Amino acid sequence: MMATKKRWLDFKNTHNLPAKLVFSCIGIALISLGAAICNVGGVGVDPFTAMNMGAAEAIGIRFGTYQVIVNLIILAVVFIMDRFQIGIGTLVNMVAVGYLIEFFTWAYAFMPHLPEGILRSAVHLVAGTLVFTLGVSMYLKTRMGVSPIDAVAPIAVKVTGAPYTRCRVIQDILVTVIAFLIGGPVGVFTIVAAFFTGPLITTWNRYVSVPLYRRTRTLSADELAEEDDLLVKRPRHADARA
């Protein structure tokens, strides 16, 4: 029996598309909220956001708009190299994250603040990291595509044959260095987001996202079987970040 050829953006055969869209959007909102919490706490943002914030400020353009432009450029390359990395979630992510970070940062000004100091920074770092990684887990496990920047490392693996971890680390180091050089908000969370969030995302996958999608029937039986297999094997191709 011949295997069914994989089709790009096959919405007709996508299991429970409405639920996947809803949870994907919730995940994207949490990613943005987590980044905003860390940003207002002065502990930095993830490398890609830091690079875009620094560049946007340097050239005098709104951050959300600049991030969309950069994402469009990366998306064009991803489409040429491996369009199967792209889904509806990719498009929502690339358009919404920058503006949502701006919104949550603005909204924070109307909330009670902790006094300046190490405690404030620590609270923001912990809270922001937890919210950010939960968002990444929920977003990725809907299987609705990855953000344009997160498609770069898998494509590099296909082109070079190098291990995913090596490609991802090189990518994150380059982006972080660029962010630092152009004055982006590089801080503790930038390093944490680049190199140390994988185990936390896996924990969210195991105890929150996959069980939630199992109960709500967001994922099909085959998709759940694959997720269970991933959690058991803990493959080298780790979860990407937003």
Task: Please give the average pLDDT of every successive group of 10 residues along the chain, which has 242 residues.
Answer: 58 87 97 97 96 96 97 95 90 95 94 88 96 96 92 92 90 95 96 90 94 96 90 54 46
What are the extents of the domains in the chain?
18-107+115-233
The answer to whether residues 198 and 70 touch, using CB atoms and an 8 Å cutoff, is: no
Predicted pLDDT of residue 232: 77
Predicted pLDDT of residue 14: 87
Predicted pLDDT of residue 114: 83
Predicted pLDDT of residue 143: 92
Per the structure block, which two tokens stand in for 182? 């152009």
The answer to whether residues 142 and 20 touch, using CB atoms and an 8 Å cutoff, is: yes
Considering the entire predicted model, what is its pTM? Answer: 0.89
Predicted pLDDT of residue 240: 44
Predicted pLDDT of residue 5: 59
